[in-house]
């Protein structure tokens, strides 16, 4: 796997290359089971009680801090242990591109704002180059933490991909 990242004031961008078919990567981004397998930040679990993986389809993620370091971080930051995130799939181009639009309305003391993650898939023979671009947050420190979190999530993505978790399409 190759990886690069860029986290300046504008978007957060990661590029990674994986062995395997694009269908397996796609399933981890566009199915309930796929996202539940890897999308939670470190030390948290994720449940998607609402999930419609079509363009325009809505989703809701419930992230729960479960490990001691995550619980301590939430306590120190004055944030609840359980967070609900809502959004929709703003763009779906099967096996090529997905754009998820989130409503960042759960941060104490922060005015709600939209937040997008765009994922592009570039098959290269038996490998796939995946480019993930996420919006910068209004605050530089929050953007730094988001980049760090997404980097860790993508490590779990790779583990999920290699273990075939997350979708019947992967097994």
Predicted local distance difference test score (pLDDT) of residue 131? 98
107 φ/ψ angles, rounded to the nearest 5 degrees: -90, 120
Predicted local distance difference test score (pLDDT) of residue 8? 42
Predicted local distance difference test score (pLDDT) of residue 77? 83
Residues 121, 32: Cα–Cα separation, whole Å: 19
Over the chain (171 residues), the average pLDDT of each successive run of 10 is 48 94 96 95 94 97 93 88 94 98 82 93 96 92 89 94 65 42
Instruction: Using alpha carbons only, give the angle 14, 102, 146 rounded to the nearest 5 degrees.
Output: 40
Which residue, chain included where needed, has tokens 């004055």?
78
Residue 8: partners with Cβ closer than 8 Å, 6 or more residues away: none
Domains and CATH numbers, the chain: 3-163 (3.30.530.20)
Predicted local distance difference test score (pLDDT) of residue 169? 47
The answer to whether 6 touches 133, Cβ cutoff 8 Å, is no
Q: Give the number of other Cβ atoms within 10 Å of residue 56's Cβ.
A: 10
Residue 154: partners with Cβ closer than 8 Å, 6 or more residues away: 3, 14, 16, 132
DSSP state of 18: E
Predicted local distance difference test score (pLDDT) of residue 150? 93
DSSP 81-144: SEEEEEEEEEEEETTTEEEEEEEE--STTS--EEEEEEEEEEEETTEEEEEEEEPPPSSHHHHH
The answer to whether 100 touches 117, Cβ cutoff 8 Å, is yes
| Pairing assessment for the beta strands 12-19 and 127-134 based on DSSP bridges | antiparallel
| Pairing assessment for the beta strands 97-104 and 82-93 based on DSSP bridges | antiparallel
């Amino acid at each position: 796997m190759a990886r690069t990242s860029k986290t300046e004031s504008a978007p957060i961008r990661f590029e990674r290359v994986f062995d395997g078919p694009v269908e397996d990567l796609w399933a981890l981004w566009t199915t309930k089971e796929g996202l539940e397998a890897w999308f939670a930040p470190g030390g948290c679990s994720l449940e998607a009680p609402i999930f419609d993986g079509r363009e325009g389809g809505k989703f809701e993620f419930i992230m729960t801090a479960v490990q001691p370091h995550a619980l301590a971080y939430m306590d120190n930051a004055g944030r609840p242990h359980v967070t609900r995130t809502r959004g929709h799939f703003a763009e779906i181009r099967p096996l090529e591109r997905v754009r998820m639009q989130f409503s960042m309305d759960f941060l104490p003391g922060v005015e709600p704002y939209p937040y997008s993650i765009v994922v592009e898939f570039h098959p290269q023979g038996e490998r796939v180059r995946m480019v993930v671009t996420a919006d910068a947050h209004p605050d530089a420190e929050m953007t730094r933490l988001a980049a760090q979190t997404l980097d860790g999530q993508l490590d779990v993505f790779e583990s999920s991909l290699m273990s075939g978790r997350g979708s019947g399409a992967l097994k």
